Structure 1
Amino acid sequence: MKSTLLFDFTVNKKKNSVNVKREFNSDLELVWEAWTNPEILDQWWAPKPYKNKTKTMDFREGGMWLYSMISPKDEMHWCKADYKKIEHQKSYSYIDNFCDENGNVSEKFPNSFWTNIFSENAETTIVNITIQYESLEALEKVIEVGFKEGFTMAMQNLDQYLESKFKLRQQNKISSKARVCSYLNFDGKTEEAFLFYKKVFKTEFIGKGIQRFGDIPASSEHPPIAEEIKKMILHVELPITGNHILMGTDAPKEMGFTLTKGNNMHLCIEPETREEADRLFNELSVDGNVTMPMADMFFGAYFGEFSDKYGINWMINFQNK
Structure 2
Amino acid sequence: MNKTNFTAEQNKLTVTRTFDAPLELVWRAWTEAELLDQWWAPKPWQSKTKSMAFKEGGTRLYAMIGPEGEEHWGITTYTSIAPTTSFSGEDAFCDSDGLINEEFPVATFVNQFVANENQTTVKIETAYASEEQLKQVIAMGMKEGLSLAFEHLDEFIKQKFKLMGDLKTDGQARVTTYLNFPGTTEKAFTFYKSVFKTEFSGNGIQRFGDLPQEQGQAPVPEDIKKMVLHAELPILGGHVLMATDAPKEMGFTLEQGNNMHICLEPDSREETQRLFDALSEGGKIIMPLEDMFFGAFFGSCTDQFGINWMFNFKM
Instruction: Place the TM-score, normalised by the shorter chain, in its bin.
Output: 0.7 to 0.9
Equivalent positions of 1:135-150 (< 5 A) are: 135-150=130-145
2:79 to 83, 88, 112: 83
Contact 2:118 2:291 in 1 (8 A): no
One-letter amino acid of the counterpart of residue 190, structure 2: L
One-letter amino acid of the counterpart of residue 76, structure 2: K
Partner of 1:68: 62
Describe the superposition over 1:237-273 as per-residue Cα deviations: whole angstroms up to 9, x where unpaired. Answer: 22234444332223455x5535443586130422414
One-letter amino acid of the counterpart of residue 125, structure 2: T
2:176 to 166, 171, 180: 180
The reply on whether 1:128 has 2:111 as its aligned counterpart is no
- CA–CA distance in structure 2, aligned partners of residues 289 and 37 of structure 1: 19
- CA–CA distance in structure 1, aligned partners of residues 86 and 247 of structure 2: 32
Question: Helix, strand or coil: the match of 2:294?
Answer: coil
Partner of 1:319: 313
Q: CA deviation at 1:198?
A: 1.6
Describe the superposition over 1:185-218 as per-residue Cα deviations: whole angstroms up to 9, x where unpaired. Answer: 323x332332222222222112221111222112
Question: Helix, strand or coil: the match of 1:235?
Answer: strand
- CA–CA distance in structure 2, aligned partners of residues 202 and 163 of structure 1: 34
- CA–CA distance in structure 2, aligned partners of residues 263 and 78 of structure 1: 35
Contact 1:7 1:22 in 2 (8 A): yes
The reply on whether 1:202 has 2:197 as its aligned counterpart is yes
The reply on whether 1:303 has 2:298 as its aligned counterpart is yes
Equivalent positions of 1:32-43 (< 5 A) are: 32-36=27-31, 40-43=35-38
- CA–CA distance in structure 1, aligned partners of residues 269 and 33 of structure 2: 28
The reply on whether 1:8 has 2:2 as its aligned counterpart is no
Contact 1:30 1:295 in 2 (8 A): no
Change (3 A) 1:237 1:55: farther
One-letter amino acid of the counterpart of residue 82, structure 1: Y
Instruction: State percent identity of aligned pairs.
Output: 40
Describe the superposition over 1:277-308 as per-residue Cα deviations: whole angstroms up to 9, x where unpaired. Answer: 44544455456554432222111122224455
Q: CA deviation at 1:30?
A: 4.3
- CA–CA distance in structure 2, aligned partners of residues 55 and 154 of structure 1: 20
One-letter amino acid of the counterpart of residue 225, structure 2: K
- CA–CA distance in structure 2, aligned partners of residues 311 and 141 of structure 1: 52
Question: Helix, strand or coil: the match of 1:172?
Answer: coil
Change (3 A) 1:191 1:95: same
Which runs of 5 or more residues in structure 1 are unaligned?
A: none
Q: CA deviation at 1:154?
A: 2.6
CA RMSD of aligned residues (A): 3.6
Describe the superposition over 1:18-52 as per-residue Cα deviations: whole angstroms up to 9, x where unpaired. Answer: 22221222344543454345554454334444144
- CA–CA distance in structure 1, aligned partners of residues 301 and 166 of structure 2: 23
Q: CA deviation at 1:179?
A: 0.8
Change (3 A) 1:74 1:271: farther
Which runs of 5 or more residues in structure 2 are unaligned?
A: none
Question: Helix, strand or coil: the match of 1:173?
Answer: coil
- CA–CA distance in structure 2, aligned partners of residues 170 and 258 of structure 1: 17
Contact 1:37 1:291 in 2 (8 A): no
